[in-house]
Structure 1
């Protein structure tokens, strides 16, 4: 087959001995060739054929339209003289540099020898070692005095011993004569040795002296040259290993991107974990290598965030702040009533967010006493609060008061209003099993208490929150969610979240919503699951979410309200678009 025409950036040229269009549908083949790099495309196409089936496949991808220009009418190639000279100069400079690295340098030699002797001297000095290990400057004079006294004591001991031995020898006349003769004999031997050595050297010819000196210098230069070359080769080998590590990391990252394109998140996660291991093993003995390692870590973190479905919100909109009204007030609970955002404050008052003025207005409070709300719910314009002491309050917006109801239990941790009933969650305690209690509304009060759960297997030791849409969902502290239908536990679970949930506090859903929302203040995030399958969808996080206490979702308005300390934030959920 002969093709006539030009190739442009982005064009892909594929040659194979198989009829790919019969094996791979066109709507799959074209994205493979267009979106994947050549190596990834070859690996992906190979998966459509059996392991024992032969396949010849070549894929070329044009990435640049910059090509050498061949001029002339005779069709012959013309040498690029400028390019050749440039390459020659570059090669010559590289060669000179390498030769300079291997050329002996006397000044460098002397510096290295002096440095080596100094390091050895310092390493073998007991005094310096002891002084170097001191914990502070206050003990230094005492340690110096102690070491000096030890040295003086040793010298004095040996001096006294030598003097005593000498005196013993000098007491006897025969011993004195023998010692004198030994000293004289050693003096003669030393004098003869020095004289013979001097005569021997003086008898050597000048040319021989120069030759021996040259040999000695040559040996020294050779040793130094071998040492320098060895170190240069070691550095070159270390640099080669470093570059190979970088190549392996980049290959793993590229394969991980390819796996994500085909929705294979498990494979991508495994590849990225391998890349993370290699990055942690990279040497960082220079500023350039430190910067490269930081760059790779940032790229890897961005790739892992994509797998984790993590949406980071750097600056969520701040709607209002309770501290603009009263210092030290925090928001404890949050709900949405008839399109209005209500916040139960730590001062026992109920606030409404004024969207026009971007501030909070007090809409209800206790006539006497105080309360500390821990949960709030509303239904059909009726709003209810549960405080830390287990007392339940109804809100009268007409009178702007909070009125206590006749039901209470200090073991309740959450409430939910649904179908003219109030549901309360009680975790398992030492004195009672965990249960959900239901109360029927009778006018403005509630009665007819009943234990709603009839069958369950999951323990309620760490139950923290409930949500109701007809079925009842119970959230545990570890992020697991149990679903109950008509009082009985149903086999159902949520997908895996990375990083895993360990301190979940609030759960939200509604009959109109297709999602379950879980709040984890310790990690400053809100996690979303599909209600039908329990599959993990997305997680939203922001550094601004300090001290999260509650949230509510307005899916019709594409807004999530989050209460963090005294501040009310909002975010636009991307999973609803």
Structure 2
């Protein structure tokens, strides 16, 4: 079978050059450039190609090359080893793995890490998307349209700086044609100011520009440069897009070899001496046939068929011809022969056995042909559906990536995501295999997260309650003077966790005096516990003692939540449609005061939680939030949360906060709104099960969450 195929598509071309300050290996300072890719094409397709620049300096003599090579190997294993996680998360883990390896090896040699300077920058190219991970003082610059800026300062790149021990900084963005990307050590940027780099790159071809920069470096004999020459290293990448044929534009011309060899069909073969031209349709390009090219008369009109489809069609036609020839020619001939050769002695017996056998054989052949045609058409349909699916998915992925550009407005991002979602809706009529179905599900989830502003976050466990008591029943979470407090209503314990030292203390109380508290509130005066059988008790951190300060009041009815604002205490009573307020006196507290001028009605009957920033916000079981000020209902509502609440249970804000935080255990996260009620985002973690309460620090930098077994911390910035 002879095939000829022409395809056209775009490809990102990369020109690169390296600049090294010193070729000699030093035992106290070294910088190396690495260009790596995984051994298999599938991992390369999923995780891209890796470009790394690593430098290491030490006051002690070490085999630095071995350190750097091994650090890179640790990075590659971590990054390429997990093809399921996204690029930035894998890259962050890989850089940390390299960092911790160097730290551990240096400490094992008895060398203080304070005297070691380790820096690394890694660039991942995945199509025309660039991902960057940086640790230490390395810098990456991009030269675009005559402007050179460091990544993090240029439009089109997102920046996510982690304030952790390993100081990993992550960035991502789209590469444009004719961009220059420069990875350089600190010493590189000291030797070559940005304006100097720009002048050379714009004035000369890349190879010549780097050669001139290297010569300039060799002539520079300044004391600082001579001392740090081994640390001067830079990697230059220049991008250009090249055009060549794509699969969608392919044209297959198929000429079965057997047609050329069959004399009985020579009359259907013709020589094509002019352009083989077709009316232009999507996916086709005109192709000039070579001199003497032979073709079946039936094939040129089907030039838009793929190779597989044409082969299967030809096979089916061949089977049909053979069967018809058998039925028309062979069967009658066999029947006549049987009748001629049959002895007269057997004329008394029915001579029906052999013809029936042949009819049965013919029937079986027809069935086989029908099944073959059915399978052929089914496979053809699946192949076409798979091709349509891949086209829709590719376009949807492109829109998803575009939506992640920080330069886009919220409206533009939403439009891109809605377009991606619309493209995927076109897959509903396709017959997909299991692999395509799983890919579709994952992509839909990712698009929905972008559309609904859902952010998956990583947690840090601040307090593991299960390590102390697996049967604990925690409730209530609050903070005072750098200490978190949580209540264990079953064990009659109050836990105190120091946020700085992570030290944990437990204070037991007498349930005969305090009752069985279920709610917790904290203010500068102390920690207050509310029990429906005794009232409100106060725990004093100064004396570590508990004392009843407000007797139980039958007027409370059902109490859904309990909070404090300055020194005042507030109780939410849905059954009484009221918020009760207590004001501190010289000795104890006042009698209960009704905060609302009139009962809150049906709205307050649905209340499950409250929070106070001067105004009082009441969260209802259906996710509505009602705002009250000076005892009156205010015009306020939540807007833009298209996902909708499933099981909202806690609400939190403070006076100087810009945002309101609402816990939803079914969403496994916290929905965040501004003070005007506009939806901002949803932070979630699939491992957050049985969330009970939340608290946010005064700068709105960290979110603390209480679950059945632990207190977790999540960065909000």
Contact kept? 1:322, 1:330, Cα under 8 Å: no
State how far apart, in whole Å, the 2-side matches of 1:366 and 1:338 are.
25
The C-alpha deviation readout for 1:156-188, integer Å capped at 9, x for no partner, is: xxxxxxxxxxxxxxxxxxxxxxxxxxxxxxxxx
Match of 2:562 in 1: 415
Which has the larger strand fraction?
2
Match of 2:695 in 1: 552
State how far apart, in whole Å, the 2-side matches of 1:92 and 1:255 are.
31
Q: Which one of the candidate residues 386, 390, 397 is aligned to 2:530?
A: 386
State how far apart, in whole Å, the 2-side matches of 1:326 and 1:219 are.
76
State how far apart, in whole Å, the 1-side matches of 2:449 and 2:541 are.
45
- 378-387 or 337-346: which moved more? 378-387
Matched, 1:539 2:682: yes
Matched, 1:283 2:426: no
State how far apart, in whole Å, the 1-side matches of 2:315 and 2:376 are.
12
Match of 2:81 in 1: none
| Secondary structure of 1:403 counterpart | strand
Q: Which one of the candidate residues 401, 425, 439 is aligned to 2:572?
A: 425
For these two proteins, the number of residue pairs brought into alignment is: 402
CA spacing shift, 1:65–1:324, aligned 2, 3 Å: same
Match of 1:398 in 2: 542
CA spacing shift, 1:345–1:221, aligned 2, 3 Å: closer
Q: CA deviation at 1:474?
A: 0.9
Which has the larger helix fraction?
1
CA spacing shift, 1:413–1:572, aligned 2, 3 Å: same
Q: CA deviation at 1:361?
A: 0.6
Structure number with larger C-alpha Rg: 1
Contact kept? 2:668, 2:688, Cα under 8 Å: yes
Q: Which one of the candidate residues 693, 707, 715 is aligned to 1:564?
A: 707
Match of 2:638 in 1: 494
Structure 1 gaps of 5+ residues are: 1-6, 11-29, 39-61, 69-83, 110-190, 199-208
| Secondary structure of 2:638 counterpart | coil
Contact kept? 1:102, 1:228, Cα under 8 Å: no
Q: Which one of the candidate residues 447, 467, 471 is aligned to 2:611?
A: 467
Q: TM-score, normalised by structure 2?
A: 0.48
Contact kept? 2:455, 2:683, Cα under 8 Å: yes
Q: Which one of the candidate residues 496, 521, 535 is aligned to 1:352?
A: 496
Q: CA deviation at 1:392?
A: 0.9
Q: Which one of the candidate residues 378, 383, 401 is aligned to 1:239?
A: 383
Q: Which one of the candidate residues 467, 478, 485 is aligned to 2:629?
A: 485
| Secondary structure of 1:373 counterpart | coil
Match of 1:312 in 2: 456
Q: TM-score, normalised by structure 1?
A: 0.59
The C-alpha deviation readout for 1:223-275, integer Å capped at 9, x for no partner, is: 96577456534542453244334434544554566577453366456545545
Structure 2 gaps of 5+ residues are: 1-10, 15-154, 157-172, 178-238, 246-289, 295-305, 325-343
Q: CA deviation at 1:439?
A: 1.6
State how far apart, in whole Å, the 2-side matches of 1:502 and 1:223 are.
55
Match of 1:504 in 2: 648
Match of 1:453 in 2: 596
CA spacing shift, 1:9–1:368, aligned 2, 3 Å: same
The C-alpha deviation readout for 1:502-541, integer Å capped at 9, x for no partner, is: 321111111111111111223321111101x211112121
| Secondary structure of 1:394 counterpart | strand
| Secondary structure of 2:582 counterpart | strand
Q: CA deviation at 1:313?
A: 2.6
1:99-178 aligned at under 5 Å gives the runs 99-100=314-315, 102-104=317-319
CA spacing shift, 1:538–1:327, aligned 2, 3 Å: same
State how far apart, in whole Å, the 2-side matches of 1:513 and 1:104 are.
77
The C-alpha deviation readout for 1:1-54, integer Å capped at 9, x for no partner, is: xxxxxx9869xxxxxxxxxxxxxxxxxxx98xx97999xxxxxxxxxxxxxxxx
What RMSD in Å do the two structures reach over aligned CA positions? 4.6
CA spacing shift, 1:276–1:230, aligned 2, 3 Å: closer
1:52-71 aligned at under 5 Å gives the runs 64-65=241-242
